[in-house]
């Protein structure tokens, strides 16, 4: 930050060059000097200058170059009862306010939000995302938030904004009636509803949120594990039919070790069943003794069901896409729509992660590089 002033009794030039990324308000340091009548005030794009005179909000200047005289300082002139011939130095506090967007600010639920799901009943959910912020009314922002703080940063207001966001998020989710399993497909609508609810309250601070995103809504880990088990049962379906199907698959594919063992087991079971049937048939004809039930070998145990298919979700431009099975992701990898930097999530995973840091890394490693330019 730099400021220019005339070495002497009066300040001649007032300006601010911001070399930081998080300063919202900076007070011009007069060092006890008075401001010369007719001094030059430079307000750059993305800035506003606010004059505070004797503790009262005075004039607010937008971007431009100004000569500080009575004709362009109407509020100051009224407060001090200056006449049009006023040409004496004066002492006022000058605050520069950054009116550009502050982006990539984070929000998230410290504690789960209780809501009533139409399918599962009362559930606890967590959510997190990002937003941007900017000052829309410099005068109101000075009086309501900054006060006499000589250097005010974005971090000093984000805590208050997070409280407002979480309060509105809780209210919106509680009355949305959207099933938890469908919230991932409705994050854009939920984000707009939350931002619309926040807007009137933060407008009283002189700020707005131009962008507000919900990146993820998730259930507690123990609930997700129960859902995974439920999904596994749904995938398996009728266990008896599933066992028969697995046996048929093993007979058609006897090359693999597991398939060969299963085929041998099924073949032995079929042979034993045929022998029992033949023995029972001979006994019915009177020529041979029927096989004793006590002597019959027990039937082989049914093979366990295969592990459940993992379903993946992708975060694309603030929206959640999916779910996708791994087989569905192969063409996305080939089309470079899914890269190692893409954010993905699957049940049981702690938040969103880059695809290269998950089990999908093997798909990305198997993908060929893009063709060379012709």
Residue 47 pLDDT exceeds 70: yes
Are residues 202 and 233 both part of a single domain?
A: no
Contact 35, 52 (CB under 8 A): no
Contact 323, 312 (CB under 8 A): yes
Are residues 252 and 351 both part of a single domain?
A: no
Contact 145, 206 (CB under 8 A): yes
Q: Please report the pLDDT score of residue 371 as a whole number.
A: 67
Classify residue 302: in a domain, yes or no.
no
Classify residue 291: in a domain, yes or no.
no
Q: Per-residue pLDDT tens for 56-85?
A: 888 999 999 999 887 778 777 777 766 666
Q: Please report the pLDDT score of residue 24 as a whole number.
A: 93
Residue 305 pLDDT exceeds 80: no
Instruction: Describe the strand order of the beta sheet including 319-324 as a list of residue ranges.
Output: 319-324, 312-316, 343-346, 353-354
Q: Identify the DSSP state of 289.
A: P
Q: Which CATH number does the domain housing residue 352 bear?
A: 3.30.1490
Q: Please report the pLDDT score of residue 235 as a whole number.
A: 60
Domain end point (choices 79, 98, 117): 98
Classify residue 372: in a domain, yes or no.
no
Q: Please report the pLDDT score of residue 119 as a whole number.
A: 78
Are residues 241 and 265 both part of a single domain?
A: yes
Domain end point (choices 44, 72, 98): 98
Q: Please report the pLDDT score of residue 212 as a whole number.
A: 95
Are residues 203 and 122 both part of a single domain?
A: yes
Are residues 225 and 205 both part of a single domain?
A: no
What number is the average pLDDT over the span 115-142? 89
Q: Which residue has the higher pLDDT, 33 or 23?
A: 23
Q: Which CATH number does the domain housing residue 128 bear?
A: 3.30.479.30
Residue 198 pLDDT exceeds 60: yes
Are residues 243 and 262 both part of a single domain?
A: yes
Are residues 168 and 139 both part of a single domain?
A: yes
Are residues 30 and 85 both part of a single domain?
A: yes
Are residues 91 and 141 both part of a single domain?
A: no
The number of residues in the chain equals 374
Q: Per-residue pLDDT tens for 212-246?
A: 999 988 887 877 777 777 666 666 565 566 566 66
Question: How many Å apart are CA 349 and CA 358, to the nearest integer?
Answer: 9
Are residues 40 and 67 both part of a single domain?
A: yes
Q: Please report the pLDDT score of residue 6 as a whole number.
A: 42
What number is the average pLDDT over the span 24-50? 89
Q: Which residue has the higher pLDDT, 260 or 207?
A: 207
Are residues 267 and 325 both part of a single domain?
A: no
Q: Please report the pLDDT score of residue 137 as a whole number.
A: 95
Classify residue 283: in a domain, yes or no.
no
Name which of 140-149, 268-277, 327-336 the model is least confident about. 268-277
Q: Per-residue pLDDT tens for 357-373?
A: 888 888 887 766 666 66
> Quick one: residue 237, left, alpha or beta (phi over 0 = left, psi -120 to 50 = alpha)?
left
**Mean of pLDDT over the chain:** 79
Q: Which residue has the higher pLDDT, 32 or 5?
A: 32
Residue 160 pLDDT exceeds 80: yes
Residue 26 pLDDT exceeds 90: yes
Percent pLDDT > 90 in the chain is: 25
Classify residue 84: in a domain, yes or no.
yes
Highest mean pLDDT pick, 202-216, 249-263, 264-278: 202-216
Classify residue 258: in a domain, yes or no.
yes
Q: Please report the pLDDT score of residue 320 as a whole number.
A: 87
Question: How many Å apart are CA 266 and CA 257, to the nearest integer?
Answer: 14
Are residues 112 and 184 both part of a single domain?
A: yes
Classify residue 350: in a domain, yes or no.
yes
What is the tally of structural domains in the chain?
Answer: 4
Classify residue 44: in a domain, yes or no.
yes
Domain coverage including residue 52: 10-98
Joined together, the tokens standing for residue 182 give 């469908």
Domain end point (choices 219, 237, 267): 219
């Amino acid at each position: 930050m730099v400021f220019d002033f005339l070495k002497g009794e009066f300040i001649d030039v007032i300006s601010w060059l911001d070399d930081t990324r998080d300063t919202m308000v900076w007070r011009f340091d007069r060092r006890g000097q008075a401001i010369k009548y007719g001094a030059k005030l430079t307000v750059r794009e993305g800035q506003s200058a606010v004059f505070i005179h004797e503790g009262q909000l005075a004039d607010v200047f937008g971007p431009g170059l100004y000569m500080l005289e009575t004709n362009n300082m109407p509020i100051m002139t009224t407060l001090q009862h200056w006449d049009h011939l006023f040409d004496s130095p004066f002492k006022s506090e000058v605050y520069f306010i950054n009116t550009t967007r502050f982006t990539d600010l984070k929000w998230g639920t410290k504690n789960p939000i209780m809501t009533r799901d139409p399918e599962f009943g009362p559930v606890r959910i967590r959510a997190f995302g990002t937003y941007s912020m900017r000052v829309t009314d410099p005068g109101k922002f000075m009086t309501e938030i900054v006060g006499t703080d000589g250097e005010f940063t974005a971090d000093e207001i984000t805590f208050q904004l997070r409280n407002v966001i979480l309060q509105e998020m809780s209210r919106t989710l509680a009355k949305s009636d959207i099933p938890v399993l469908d919230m991932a497909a409705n994050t854009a609508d939920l984000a707009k509803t939350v931002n619309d609810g926040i807007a009137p309250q933060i407008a009283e601070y002189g700020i707005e949120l131009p962008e507000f995103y919900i990146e993820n809504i998730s259930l507690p880990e123990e609930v997700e594990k129960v859902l995974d088990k439920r999904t596994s049962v749904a995938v398996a379906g009728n266990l008896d039919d599933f066992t028969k199907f697995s046996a048929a698959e093993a007979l058609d594919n006897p090359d693999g070790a597991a398939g060969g063992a299963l085929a041998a087991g099924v073949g032995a079971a079929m042979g034993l069943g045929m022998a029992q049937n033949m023995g029972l048939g001979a006994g019915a004809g009177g020529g041979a003794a029927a096989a004793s039930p006590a002597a019959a070998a027990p039937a082989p145990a049914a093979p366990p069901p295969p592990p459940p298919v993992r379903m993946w979700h992708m975060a694309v431009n603030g929206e959640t896409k999916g779910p996708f099975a791994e087989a569905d992701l192969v063409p996305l990898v080939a089309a470079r729509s899914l890269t190692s930097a893409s954010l993905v999530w699957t049940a049981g995973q702690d938040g969103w992660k880059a695809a290269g840091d998950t089990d999908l890394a093997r798909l990305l490693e198997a993908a060929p590089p893009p063709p060379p330019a012709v």
